[in-house]
């Protein structure tokens, strides 16, 4: 920092301000310091900065899966808003396994993060206790847990399951199967399946028709293809299928095409997620769209302002039923 100050012909305190609060430094002076930093190849000592300020400028995010793009927009929104305030994001994949989440949280806490973001609301009792005692702000995403650890930004997956099922019934579908939603640790999928089951019972349409996800070794697209084949073998008079995610719906649609099944006149197919592949230029899929990017942006804003408020924030961003060609 001393070398940068000499090169830029400013005091060390000005260099520090440019690094910490650049908006408080005049533009010409700020640019002179930034040019000196670039010319000298200076990289600030983050460890020393964290010790002096008690801020690591790091946020840890634990994502349930990196196998598909469901969380991509959330991570994009989270990372972008954090970066604007000079925070960095550390990412870990838990693969829906509580024991992996436990290990990842302990590793992240050893880095003294200024906040943690969790895309799962199902935790071991030991992890809940650890997080509550850590005094690190926590935001749980993509759900509305009954007993949150800290802040929450999400929506009701159960209501989303209800909404898509009610829509299909309103379109005169009566034999409706649900593919997926049984994966261990996938609370969101289970809640969507519960919403579907609730509506079937209320409508007097009999027992729910569940097709479990095939082997976890399969991709979601392969699982969707196998799932719809199993459903049609068990219930040949099926007239609609709800897939727990858009990638599963993609596999179901491809398999229906291979079998010569016309969608939607012979069989309606829907998904969850509102991913890019579901848009009219892609599958043109009827789906429940979730505000993934906004969830990430809101989580970042909560963490960045957590020092200014002791109030727990529970933010329900809702969802939208997107009606397209497949149903």
**All structural domains of the chain:** 2-44 (1.10.260.40), 54-155+292-318 (3.40.50.2300), 157-289 (3.40.50.2300)
pTM of the predicted model as reported, rounded to 2 decimal places = 0.80
Distance CA 29, CA 202 (A): 68
In the predicted model, residues of the chain with pLDDT beneath 50 are 51
Mean pLDDT (the chain, rounded):
90
Which pLDDT score, from 0 to 100, does residue 219 have? Answer: 84
Instruction: Check the CA dihedral 49-54-57-61 and report its sign.
Output: positive
pLDDT at site 190:
92
pLDDT at 186: 82
What's the confidence (pLDDT) of residue 23? Answer: 83
Asked whether the bond before 147 is cis by omega within 30 degrees of 0, the reply is: no
User: Nearest Cα to 154, choosing from 311, 306, 290, 312?
Assistant: 290
Share of the chain above pLDDT 70, in %: 94
User: Which pLDDT belongs to residue 79?
Assistant: 94
Contact at 8 Å (CB) between 95 and 122? no
């Amino acid at each position: 920092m001393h070398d940068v100050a000499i090169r830029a012909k400013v005091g060390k305190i000005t260099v520090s301000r440019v690094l910490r609060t650049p908006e408080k430094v005049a533009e010409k002076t700020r640019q002179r310091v930034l040019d000196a930093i670039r010319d000298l190849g200076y990289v600030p000592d983050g460890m020393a900065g964290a010790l002096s300020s008690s801020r690591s400028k790091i946020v840890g995010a634990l994502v349930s899966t990196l196998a598909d793009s469901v969380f991509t927009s959330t991570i994009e929104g989270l990372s972008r808003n954090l970066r604007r305030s000079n925070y960095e994001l550390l990412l870990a994949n838990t693969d829906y396994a509580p024991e992996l989440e436990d290990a990842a949280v302990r590793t992240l806490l050893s880095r003294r993060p200024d906040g943690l973001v969790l895309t799962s609301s199902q935790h071991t009792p030991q992890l809940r206790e650890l997080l509550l005692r850590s005094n690190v702000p926590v935001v749980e995403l993509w759900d509305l847990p009954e007993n949150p650890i800290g802040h929450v930004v999400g929506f009701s997956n159960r209501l989303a399951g209800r909404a898509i099922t009610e829509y299909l019934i309103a379109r005169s579908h009566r034999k409706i199967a649900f593919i997926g939603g049984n994966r261990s640790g996938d609370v969101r999928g289970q809640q969507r399946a519960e919403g579907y089951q609730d509506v079937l019972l209320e409508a007097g349409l009999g027992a729910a028709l569940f097709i479990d996800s095939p082997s976890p070794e399969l991709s979601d697209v392969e699982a969707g293809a196998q799932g719809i084949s199993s459903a049609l073998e068990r219930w040949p008079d099926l007239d609609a299928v709800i897939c727990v995610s858009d990638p599963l719906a993609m596999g179901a649609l491809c398999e229906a095409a291979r079998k010569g099944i016309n969608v939607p006149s012979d069989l309606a197919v829907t998904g969850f997620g509102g991913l890019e592949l579901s848009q009219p230029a892609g599958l043109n899929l009827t789906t429940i769209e979730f505000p993934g990017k906004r969830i990430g942006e809101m989580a970042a804003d909560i963490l960045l302002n957590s020092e200014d408020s002791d109030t727990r924030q529970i933010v329900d961003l809702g969802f939208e039923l997107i009606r397209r060609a497949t149903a």
